Each structure stands twice: as structure tokens, then as C-alpha cells.
Structure 1
Amino acid sequence: MDMKIARVALSATLVAITLSGCGAAVSASTATPAAAVTAAPTRTFPVGVRTLTLDRGADRPLPTTIWYPAGSGRLGQPPVPALPMAPGRFPLVLFSHGLHSLPEYHVHMASRWAAAGFVVAAPAYPRTNRRTKHFSRADVRNQPADARLVIQRIGVLDTRPGDLFAGHLAMDRIAAAGHSAGGYTTAGLFGPDHSARFRAGVIISGGGMSGSSFGGPPAALLYVHGDKDPTVPLRRGRAAFDRTPWPKAFLTLAGQNHGAFLAPGRTGFTETMAATTDFLRWRLYGDEAARERLVASVSRSGRTTLETRL
């Protein structure tokens, strides 16, 4: 489940992010406040970023990067620290990285989701991130509990007077997403005891957590997988899909490997962003038009297939 994204392509663009998949690059007004967001946004937001120092005990640090819709700034620019939140309440997406990876390797995807109207929180897991001195593949089993702790701590900020996020988080509308080992972590969040607040999951190049099963309140899951993945074979993702008892869809990327398609400009990136964004809009905002758009947006290029039971 190792992270196989071409890091050269990722690191070269970390400081030059474009949000072309989310709208045109034009200036956002800093003088006139935007209307509060109560339904699926019809515009693209500038993106702010903050980091939180969290932990689940002294031996499980969970530094967390959060990208969010900002109320000022310029569209299409790299995320800016400490920008004010855009007016309104925004759903939360918890993103989990893969083995030997870091949240910042996924800034391209997270930034686009934030620009589309989601707060995206990505912890660096203590035993599987690229910088850890105590790497353990087996520790993936402990990561769903880490993720739940991060969600809980972020939720507290919604009620903390004066915090950047106070009054801006829709904590009744949560999704989980992840790549590779983070996809397995995501699947582990949808066990029999999961909260009804978890409405959606996006499992990218991953599968079901060993020894656990899906259960609890219904949620919808979207699987995204390259059919030439040498690290987590397509059949593992399909096996998890087959076991999923709720509304579900499976996006297959023809000719794609474990994660190169998560880098801007690579084949499959545009389709992945369109599918995941529309899926999240449908599940977290109740945007039925996004569900209808989902099939058309991923099949137009001929490079993807979508099996849907949504």
C-alpha cells in the first residue's frame, strides 16, 4: 500500500497550485462579504490553510493540516494561512494519507475540494507518515481511531468563541476519504459503530480493513482505482465494493497505476476530481444535480468506467 505518486511532479507544483478544476482564476472581492452558504455552493472559493497540533496520547502525535473555503483572497492561488472563513457552514472531509506519505502530498486534491466548499482535514499518522522514525505498516489498524479523534477535536472549534472555525463547521455532514493505506483507514471508519454523521466515504486505491466489516447507519461509498495498480490490485478494491451494503459506485481508471493520477496534468486527474467533487456535493449538500452529473462527467473522456448503485 506504499505511496507511489511521482513525488517529483508533486513537489514541483506544491508552491504553484492551480484550481483550474474548480473555476476560473479571477480575483475574489475582499470588500463585500459573500452570502452565507446554506446549500451546495454555486461559486468557487479562495482557499485558506491552518495546522493544528493534535495527539491521541504522548506517543501518537497527529499534526493536522486543514484546507478550507476562505472569505477573501484570490482564486487559483496557493492556499494562504489564516485567511478568514467564508460565511456559512461547510461540511468536513477527513483525508487519510498512505504509507510513507504526508498530507501535503495531496494538497492538489484537498485544495480543490476546499475551493468547492468543503473543509478538508488531513492528519499525519504517527507510524505511517514519511517522516516517522518508528514506521509500522501494522499501525494502519489504529488509524481509524486517530481519525475519529481528529474529527472530535476539530468539531470543538466550531463552538469555541473567537476561533477561525467558530460557527462555520457543519459537523452533522462528514465524509472520510483516503488513498492507499488511507483508503483502508477510510473503510475502517464505516464499521458497525460509526456515527450517522458519516454520510460518505471515498476510497482511492484501497480496500476493506482486514478483520472489520461495514455496518451501522447507511452511508454512500465511492471507490476510485486504476486497473493497472501493482500495489493494491483492482480486485481488492472490487472485493470491498462487493461487501459494501449501501449506495456505492466504482470508478475504474483505464491504464492507471497506484496513484500517479492524483497529480495535476496526469491522465485521470480531471476525471477523479470531477467524480469525487460531485459525489461529495451530492452526499454532503444534498445536490441531486451533482449525482446526475457524476456519470456524464467521468465517462466523457473514454478513459474511465463507472459502475454505480447510487
Structure 2
Amino acid sequence: MRPRRTPALLTAALLSVGLVGCSGEPAPAGRDARATPPATVKPTTPAPRVPEGHAPTGSFAVGVRELKLNRDGDRPLPVTVWYPARGAAGGDPERSAPAAAGRFPVVMFSHGLGGRPDDYASLLNRWATAGFVVAAPAFPHTRRGADGNVLDVLNQPADVSYALTRVLALDGAAGDPLRGRLATDRVAAAGHSAGGVTTIGLFTASRDDRLDAGVVFAGTGLGVGTAFAGAAAPQLFVHGEADEVVDYAAGKAVYDAVPWPKAMLSLTKGDHGRALLTDGAALRVVADTTVEFLRWTLYGDAAAKTRLPTEARRNNLATLDDRL
């Protein structure tokens, strides 16, 4: 994509402090950024394009591997892949474990500024044990230990699309452990903070038509816009109302612009990253809500859609604006 200079600079100004926000440090006290009351009008846009079906009812063991990718020869993209594996569920992910039988939807996950895929292992393992293959690139300039060039966030949607192509190709690769195990026509994108910007970009300026759904954690449209394009792809936004890095109102503004079925999970005391990284109770709410959303959008499981509001409101840690 070709970024315009002004939005890029605005993105830099907003995300340049993202190291603290993505690290899971407690949030400072801030003003109440509570949104307006949820709308009750249901959208008239088309339903998800995934045919009706059923998600797996049990849990899987989890395998993990890494792909060494490089886009255009100068953008190294090591990709960590978590996937359903054979064996008993509940243990730690096993490196290069044999894949479980079945075909599993794919979720591409983008980390935040100064982060790495492993920072989100608790959440991503939860998705894999529920029956999803999760592929998470470590971006060349915004991962921990890189140069921290925040402007490079605007190149990351193309990185994700490239990595997605390579991941989906494993389904037909002779001898690959994931051969015949990927539901290549059922794909979502998700991301946190700068990775949330990346994810929004995949549905706006850099629309990837292979994507059926999106999950945006603490994201903003600065630099990538809010001109959502292409076929209807339901979106779930997750944002802390006390977010000290990406203001809650900024995330809500992008959510409001989504023309498709959508929902927004608002963590009433949530900061920028702790609910994904260190806060056990909030992480459970986020994990279970996102699993039900992915079961509905990628498996076509209508029962998961009906369970989603209950998971979102458990323990009164969050509210849900449900326009699905």
C-alpha cells in the first residue's frame, strides 16, 4: 500500500508510546471514556459468507512450529504457528507435534509495537485448542529488538497477506505436517495495538478478499482509514475503556464505521494490554468471547453466536455492543 504522509505521522504520534501499552503494565488512572449506550438496531448487511456448520465440541492438544519467511528478500518474517495437535488437551504446546485430524480455519495474528507473537501465547493457545490454526508473524521493524520504526506499521498489512499465502500453501505441500489440515476458504485476521492497525488495514486500504472476519484489540484507523471494502466480513472489536495508549473513543470511531455485522467488547476497567497479557479474569472473558466469535464466523456455528453475549458479560468485567 502507498501510505499518505499526514496519516502516517499521526500514526507515529499515537503509537510511539505503545511499548508501555503493549507490555501489560498497569494503566494509570484516567478519565472515563465510556461509550454512548449500545445501539439496538440490527444491521441490514449480508450475513457471513461461511456456510452454516458446527465447530468442534472438544478441546485439542496444541502443536507449535515456526516458518522462516521473507517478503521481497528484505523483510524477514518468522511466523509462529499454533495448531490443533494429536494427544490429550491441556498440556503445554508441543513443538512440531503431529496435527490432529480434520480441517481447521486459519487466523492470522499481528502483535503490537515492541512485542512478539509469544507475548500472546495464552490467548493464541486458547484459539488453537478450540480448533483454529493461528499464524503470527514477527514484523521486521516493530517486533521487540528491532529498530521500532512505527511508520513501518503501514507496510504490515502486505506482510500479513504474504504470510497468509505461504501458510495456506502448506495445505497442499507434499510432506508438510499441515498438508490437508487447513480450511483454506475460512480465514480471519486479528491483532493488538499496532497489530490492530494492521488488521484494520487488511479490511480497508489493503483489503485482503480472503478474509472472512476480523478481531481488533485496541486498534485505531490512523494511517489505514475506515473505508471498509469488499464482501461483508464480521468484526469484533475489543477495547479497554481506560486505555492509556489508544484512546477508547478512537477505537469506537473505527468500530462505528464498520458497515458489516459487528460487536464491541468494552472492558470497563481495561487498559491497553493487560487483558491480553497478564490479567487472568479479563483474559478468560476475552478468550472465550473471541473463541465464540471465531466459531461462528469461521465454522458457521450458529450456537456459538448465541453463546457470545453470555461469555462477554461474565463476571461483569465488560459490556457488549452486539450488532451481529
Same fold, judged at TM 0.5 (above)? yes
- In 1, distance between residues paired with 2:24 and 2:273? 10
Instruction: Verify the 8 A CA contact 2:171 2:180 in the aligned structure 1.
Output: yes
User: Do structure 1's residue 71 and structure 2's residue 86 form an aligned pair?
Assistant: yes
Counterparts of residues 225-244 of structure 1 (less than 5 Å): 225-244=239-258
- In 1, distance between residues paired with 2:222 and 2:54? 33
Q: Which residue of 1 aligns with 2:56?
A: 41
What's the offset of the Cα at 1:121? 0.3
What's the offset of the Cα at 1:303? 1.5
SS at match of 1:84: coil
**Structure 1 residues 205 and 241: CA distance shift in structure 2, 3 A:** same
Q: Which residue of 2 aligns with 1:148?
A: 161
| Structure 2 unpaired stretches of 5+ | 1-14, 27-52
Instruction: Verify the 8 A CA contact 1:192 1:216 in the aligned structure 2.
Output: no
Structure 2 residue aligned with 1:224, among 238, 253, 256?
238
Count of equivalent residues: 280
Return the TM-score normalized by structure 2.
0.83
- In 2, distance between residues paired with 1:140 and 1:195? 16
- In 2, distance between residues paired with 1:221 and 1:211? 16
Instruction: Verify the 8 A CA contact 1:195 1:217 in the aligned structure 2.
Output: no
Q: Which residue of 1 aligns with 2:134?
A: 120
Instruction: Verify the 8 A CA contact 1:188 1:209 in the aligned structure 2.
Output: no
Q: Aligned Cα RMSD in Å? A: 1.7
Q: Which residue of 1 aligns with 2:190?
A: 177
Instruction: Verify the 8 A CA contact 1:90 1:168 in the aligned structure 2.
Output: yes
User: Do structure 1's residue 250 and structure 2's residue 261 form an aligned pair?
Assistant: no
Instruction: Verify the 8 A CA contact 1:187 1:209 in the aligned structure 2.
Output: no
- In 1, distance between residues paired with 2:206 and 2:54? 29
Counterparts of residues 55-204 of structure 1 (less than 5 Å): 55-72=70-87, 74-132=88-146, 134-191=147-204, 194-204=207-217
Higher RCO (CA < 8 A, seq sep 6+): 2
One-letter amino acid of the counterpart of residue 308, structure 1 = D
- In 2, distance between residues paired with 1:117 and 1:142? 30
- In 2, distance between residues paired with 1:299 and 1:39? 23
Structure 1 residue aligned with 2:296, among 282, 290, 296?
282
| Structure 1 unpaired stretches of 5+ | 10-37
What's the offset of the Cα at 1:265? 4.6
- In 2, distance between residues paired with 1:195 and 1:127? 22
Deviations 1:199-224 (A, max 9, x none): 11000011225243211111000000
- In 1, distance between residues paired with 2:233 and 2:82? 24
- In 1, distance between residues paired with 2:24 and 2:216? 21
**Structure 1 residues 120 and 49: CA distance shift in structure 2, 3 A:** same
Instruction: Verify the 8 A CA contact 1:196 1:218 in the aligned structure 2.
Output: no
**Structure 1 residues 138 and 302: CA distance shift in structure 2, 3 A:** same
- In 2, distance between residues paired with 1:119 and 1:276? 14
Deviations 1:164-213 (A, max 9, x none): 11011111000000000000100000126634431110000112252432
Give percent identity, aligned residues only. Answer: 46
One-letter amino acid of the counterpart of residue 307, structure 2 = R
One-letter amino acid of the counterpart of residue 64, structure 1 = V
**Structure 1 residues 6 and 56: CA distance shift in structure 2, 3 A:** closer
Counterparts of residues 12-31 of structure 1 (less than 5 Å): none
- In 1, distance between residues paired with 2:130 and 2:284? 14
- In 2, distance between residues paired with 1:220 and 1:180? 19
**Structure 1 residues 7 and 211: CA distance shift in structure 2, 3 A:** closer
User: Do structure 1's residue 210 and structure 2's residue 223 form an aligned pair?
Assistant: yes
